[in-house]
Structure 1
């Protein structure tokens, strides 16, 4: 992968061939960029809220884990599998409408472990949640 456009196209093809999983599909998650150094996805607020109309904190975590785990598996490469071992989230504001956008960047890309940070913002660009996920990489 020589340039970002090629990396993203190849990454999105990889996502399409692998699938995003039933939960991510139910929640309306859409991957828009996918490369080793940056992944982006969006998710609607509607359908992913608490009874009081705020985005559910667990929905932020599902979005973050979907991006972070998929990114770790892309990094792991053929014949290897990344599995989550730790995840945490800090919610700093609540989205109430529209879509949220998650940007996933690596903190550490090792041979046996990855750490990713996922910043989730509302349509105004204000951060709503920060998710951090650690994945163990192992042979299949």
Structure 2
């Protein structure tokens, strides 16, 4: 699968791919001036962008690109712990693979493995027109 990042939110936030396998995607993101909120901590929206990116790539690995597209349909996130700098890692794993939807759980952790954010993302699978 071609994973284009140039000119995307993924590039703007410094998100990098670590692992892409069937049913599992791992990505990293720096906690820096691009991803902090005004008070100096990791922005919850940046965590959500990382989580949805990981789930969307994971879903894209599982569809028939000749006939289907996939899009984030719903996402929630529980922000467990704050972080000021360093790197966070999102690990997305599939929980449900249906014909029209997939559900992914994404755990975002810090360098020590501490849970920063726990997210669930539903991805819609639609037929190309």
Q: Same fold (TM over 0.5)?
A: yes
**Whose strand proportion is higher, 1 or 2?**
2
Give the aligned partner of residue 9 of structure 2. Answer: 23
How many residue pairs match? The answer is: 125
Moved over 2 A (4+): none
1:108 is aligned, of 80, 96, 102, to 96
Q: Mind listing any 5+ residue stretches in structure 2 that lack a counterpart?
A: none
Contact 2:101 2:123 in 1 (8 A): yes
- In structure 2, the partner of 1:75 is 62
The Cα RMSD (Å) is: 1.1
The aligned counterpart of 2:24 is: 38
Select the structure that is richer in helix: 1
For structure 1, the 5+ residue unaligned runs are 1-13
Deviation at 1:38, TM superposition (A): 1.2
> TM-score scaled by structure 1?
0.85
Deviation at 1:77, TM superposition (A): 2.1
Task: Quote the residue 1:91 is aligned against.
Answer: 79
- The one of 49, 53, 74 equivalent to 2:36 is 49
Q: Is the 8 A contact 2:25 2:57 kept in 1?
A: no
